[in-house]
Amino acid sequence: MSATLSGKRILLIIAGGIAAYKSLDLIRRLRERGAAVRCILTKAGAEFVTPLSVSALSGDKVYGELFSLTDEAEMGHIQLSRDADLLVVAPATADILARMAAGLAHDLATTALLATDKPVLAAPAMNVRMWNHPATQRNLAQLKADGVRFVGPNDGDMACGEYGPGRMAEPLEIVAAIEAQFDGADLPLKGIKALVTSGPTHEAIDPVRYIANRSSGKQGHAIAGALARLGADTVLVSGPTHEPDPAGARIVRVESARDMLAACEAALPLDVVVCAAAVADWRVANEAAQKLKKQDGKPLPSLTLAENPDILASLSQRKKGRPRLVIGFAAETEKLLENAKAKRARKGCDWILANDVSPGTGTFGGTRNTVHLLAGDSFEDWPTASKEEVADRLAHRIAAALNGGVQ
């Protein structure tokens, strides 16, 4: 028996890969520790292990058909995932990961995964080339952003004769990941309050027009998701974007820089702040109450600008209740590192991530970013990576710093 797993209800989805044989042992290990295991065996999974073995080991019937009248009468497909404390996909093949990432629901396994509001842990298992394929890596990034957790894959000899990452984690490693999921032991930011700003701000000219910029919110949203995945109690203060809400973060939607500052101050006290938003430096001083009219023969309207509050500087320079770690971005089109260094000094933040936003880099609105982290006296050049990877790396770096590691 394990205090962590005793009485926990796990819905194990066994997809079609050679590693399915290890899932039989996984069922045994989980039940030894007092967990109740209910299984969905996909059609392809049943090519590798039999429903009879799965049923004998789990001590329960095995679910397989989406359109089974008897299954639906006993336990509806929605109820299956609702009744569980955790969904585990093992082996998680390239195919089921792709279908999860796309939100497909054409069999019982994917329907249960789409219908669930419970945490999902996946143990990938596939050929090394399939694992390394950009499509699989894209799907993984999407699933991580959706809040799915992963254990493995491990490096090693594969059934197909190749060597590399792709072997499913061993049953006891999966058990450890499940236990960690329940007791939060692998969440280095548990108990930490984090705030991320993201997206552009809109500064009204009149009730229908505004000044804005090209920020999509992709980078900031990815950072909020990554911090939440590491256990931080995360607030995302977002300007207007079309990005989906990152799993696990509380979203506060704002329009203008002044609204954004008010939302950030309302979220205090905080341990860590990441200002990834592209906040407008100026707003229109004389915002019109009514729509400005085009008037033939009259002079063109002129806009007078007023300076917006600087959110990063104001949080960094708080005398009382300053967050322990304040991180800014520097979006530059020239003299990247020089300007970023000066910006960190001027605003008073602890770290700054410099990124080149010149035309042609695709940083604004794109899916990838090349950042340089100024955390001490010199810059660390991070490799160009997806915005999710940049976010994961930053989140782990934050966890190391807050837990007493390098600053």
Single residue of 110, 139, 355, 386 touching ligand PMT by CB under 6 A: 355
DSSP code per residue over 70-138: HHHHHS-HHHHHHT-SEEEEEEE-HHHHHHHHHT--SSHHHHHHHH--S-EEEEE---HHHHHSHHHHH
**Residues 132-161 interacting with ligand PMT (rule: CB under 6 A):** none
Region from 98-106, 108-116, 163-171, 329-337 binding ligand PMT, contact rule CB under 6 A: 329-337
Query: Which residues, 6+ apart, have CB-to-CB distance to 237 below 8 Å?
Result: 195, 196, 197, 198, 252, 254, 260, 263, 264, 267, 277
Q: Does 357 bind ligand PMT (CB under 6 A)?
A: yes
Helix, strand or coil, per DSSP, at residue 55? helix
Residues 181-220 that bind ligand PMT (CB under 6 A): 197, 215-220
Q: Does 131 bind ligand PMT (CB under 6 A)?
A: no
Q: Considering the rule CB under 6 A, would residue 363 count as an interface residue with ligand PMT?
A: yes
Helical axes 387-402 vs 218-229, angle rounded to 10°: 50
Interface with ligand PMT includes 244 (CB under 6 A)? no
Q: Which of 24, 276, 374, 395 touches ligand PMT by CB under 6 A? A: 276
Tokens of 187: 């969440």
Strands 149-150 and 282-284: unpaired
**Alpha carbons within 13 A on the beta-carbon side of 307:** 3
| 343 lines the binding site for ligand PMT (CB under 6 A) | yes
Binding to ligand PMT by CB under 6 A, coded x per residue (else -) over 99-128, reads ------------------------------
Least Å from the CB of residue 308 to ligand PMT: 5
Select from 63, 131, 150, 329 the one that contacts ligand PMT (CB under 6 A): 329
389 binds ligand PMT per the rule CB under 6 A = no
Q: Does 362 bind ligand PMT (CB under 6 A)?
A: no
Minimum distance, C-beta of residue 51 to ligand PMT, in the bound complex (Å):
46
**Nearest C-alpha neighbor of 123 from the set 259, 13, 199, 10:** 13
- Is 160 assigned a catalytic role? yes
Q: Which of 160, 264, 275, 349 is catalytic?
A: 160
Q: How far is CA 47 from the centre of its chain?
A: 33
- Which tokens is 230 given? 């590491």
- Say how far apart CA 89 and CA 58 lie, in whole Å: 15
Q: Does 48 bind ligand PMT (CB under 6 A)?
A: no
Provide the binding-site residues for ligand PMT, judged by CB under 6 A. Answer: 197, 215-220, 257, 275-279, 281, 308, 310-312, 328-331, 343, 355, 357, 363-365, 387
Positions annotated as catalytic residues are: 160
